[in-house]
Amino acid sequence: MATAELAGKHLVLGMTGGIACYKIAELTRLLTKAGATVQVVMTEAATQFITPVTMQALSGRPVYTSQWDGRVPNNMAHIDLSREADAIVIAPASTDFLAKLAHGMADDLLSTLCVARDCPLLVVPAMNRQMWQNPATQRNVAQLRADGVTLLGPDSGPQACGEIGDGRMLEAKATYEAISSFFSPKILSGRRVLLTAGPTFEPLDPVRGITNRSSGKMGFALARAAQQAGAEVHLVAGPVSLETPWGVFRQDVQTAQQMHDAVMRSVADADIFIGVAAVADWRVAHASEHKIKKTAERALPSFTFVENPDILASVAKLPHPPFAVGFAAESGDLEVHGEEKRMRKNVPLLIGNLGPLTFGLDDNEVILFEAGSATKLTRADKQTLARALIAEIAKRLPDTSLIR
Ligand code: C5P
């Protein structure tokens, strides 16, 4: 599916030598699926890890590996390839290639292309942790940043060599998200966004509990869209099995009370709060410390419930609240209940899910309730819708100078 950020973009994808070259096959697929054209350029070393044939098949374009490639009519591949590009992305970027870039060396097609470029350069490092920590590498990285090069990653974790630490390349999906983010309009630049997402889990005993069918997809999509719009994003997530969007700070919680406490600790810093979580309204007053046993003689268990705090309403009640946005999933008559709920929660904007069965689905249709109007947005997949909602929220923000 083409995405707004990458559709029609032309990328030079420069590959250098490293085992992470296998991730670039998937990255190329994601970029082309999003509507970008991908021109692969490989160093000699990269061809030892994955073949140009594979990269040609995935990108749908001939791959360049040599400065002396006669296929470019004027024989100036190093100039022509970068002039067509919206950006050059080096992935994986080896220790050696970072050093070459930092010193402006130009001794093969890819390095010459980078020196001759007139477009942004994004670099995705991939190397052993000692190579990454080496002072020479760190000097080169600092120099590249000072030169305006954008570094994506590296990640931390187990490495192909068996060691654990910083230096591994971001996964293909995260690299793809970081590249999309680079091209997104920065309509929330300088803003801090706090979100809740997913269900909560209220324990009955150490193994059982009450939860709901919220998948967290809409909240995670909004967190991703806000990050891509340039915001600093803090996502407080209930129990969900979703990957953290690239660049988002995620805090996992289980219960409504924990979610409330996490939000209240951070809300003073937020310019925008978006409550997407399906928070349990009640919890068991005294969850059992031990697993409740099922025995022939024992009567059926019964529980006393107490009310959970309303996180959204608590945020809206603060003396200097951030711009607070709520969500509502109603089982009927959304038009009436949506506006009524917005007023009861005392928020400027409430987003109503049309139809109660959006839990877990990949697309959604919503109505925006605000004082004096209700606006329907067209049905779309949750990521497209999230982008549209972030644009709608950005439009309604008070002027930065008026924000606390
Ligand atoms: O009252 P209701 O649960 O329908 O309201 C939904 C909105 O309120 C959502 O934005 C949800 O995240 C928020 N909410 C909350 N804390 C609660 C209950 C709901 O923040 N305890």
The answer, yes or no, to whether any atom of ligand 1 lies below 6 A from the CB of 312, is: yes
Q: Is the same domain home to 158 and 216?
A: no
Most ligand 1 atoms within 8 A of CB, residue of 306, 312, 340 to mutate? 312
Dist. CA 196 → ligand 1 center (Å): 10
Dist. CA 121 → ligand 1 center (Å): 43
Considering the domain boundaries, does residue 1 fall inside one? no
Query: What CATH number is attached to the domain comprising 218?
Result: 3.40.50.10300
Q: Is the same domain home to 299 and 178?
A: no
Considering the domain boundaries, does residue 403 fall inside one? no
Considering the domain boundaries, does residue 145 fall inside one? yes
Strands 272-275 and 192-197: parallel
Considering the domain boundaries, does residue 86 fall inside one? yes
Q: Is the same domain home to 156 and 238?
A: no
pLDDT value of residue 159? 82
DSSP letters for 66-135: -TT-TTSTTS-HHHHHHHT-SEEEEEEE-HHHHHHHHTT--SSHHHHHHHT--S-EEEEE---HHHHHSH
Q: Is the same domain home to 260 and 375?
A: yes
Considering the domain boundaries, does residue 107 fall inside one? yes
Considering the domain boundaries, does residue 135 fall inside one? yes
Token pair for residue 266? Answer: 């951070």
The answer, yes or no, to whether any atom of ligand 1 lies below 6 A from the CB of 279, is: yes
Q: Is the same domain home to 65 and 134?
A: yes
The answer, yes or no, to whether any atom of ligand 1 lies below 6 A from the CB of 198, is: no
Q: Is the same domain home to 104 and 159?
A: yes
Query: What CATH number is attached to the domain comprising 127?
Result: 3.40.50.1950
Q: Is the same domain home to 317 and 222?
A: yes
* Counted domains in the chain: 2
Dist. CA 154 → ligand 1 center (Å): 37
The answer, yes or no, to whether any atom of ligand 1 lies below 6 A from the CB of 262, is: no
- Which strands sit side by side in the sheet containing 121-125, from one edge to the other? 37-42, 10-15, 87-93, 121-125, 150-151
Dist. CA 347 → ligand 1 center (Å): 12
Give yes or no for a contact between 311 and 279, defined as CB atoms under 8 angstroms apart. Answer: yes
Q: Is the same domain home to 166 and 234?
A: no
Question: What angle, 0 to 180 degrees and rounded to 10, lies between the N-to-C axes of helices 382-396 and 217-228?
Answer: 60
pLDDT value of residue 404? 47
Residues in the chain with pLDDT values less than 70: 1-2, 298, 331, 355-360, 400-404
Q: Is the same domain home to 43 and 137?
A: yes
Q: Which of 183, 204, 223 is the last residue of a domain?
A: 183
Q: Which of 160, 183, 206 is the last residue of a domain?
A: 183
State pTM to two decimals: 0.88
Element holding 395 (H helix, E strand): helix 382-396
221 is in which domain, residue-wise? 192-396
Q: Is the same domain home to 21 and 170?
A: yes
Q: Which of 183, 210, 242 is the last residue of a domain?
A: 183
Q: Is the same domain home to 171 and 199?
A: no
Ligand 1, residue 327: give the atom nearest the CA.
Answer: 10
Q: Is the same domain home to 105 and 221?
A: no
Q: Give the residue whose CA is nearest to atom 4 of ligand 1.
A: 328
Catalytic residues: 161
Considering the domain boundaries, does residue 324 fall inside one? yes
Token pair for residue 279? Answer: 């928070």
pLDDT value of residue 198? 97
The answer, yes or no, to whether any atom of ligand 1 lies below 6 A from the CB of 334, is: no
The answer, yes or no, to whether any atom of ligand 1 lies below 6 A from the CB of 273, is: no
Considering the domain boundaries, does residue 26 fall inside one? yes
pLDDT value of residue 1? 55
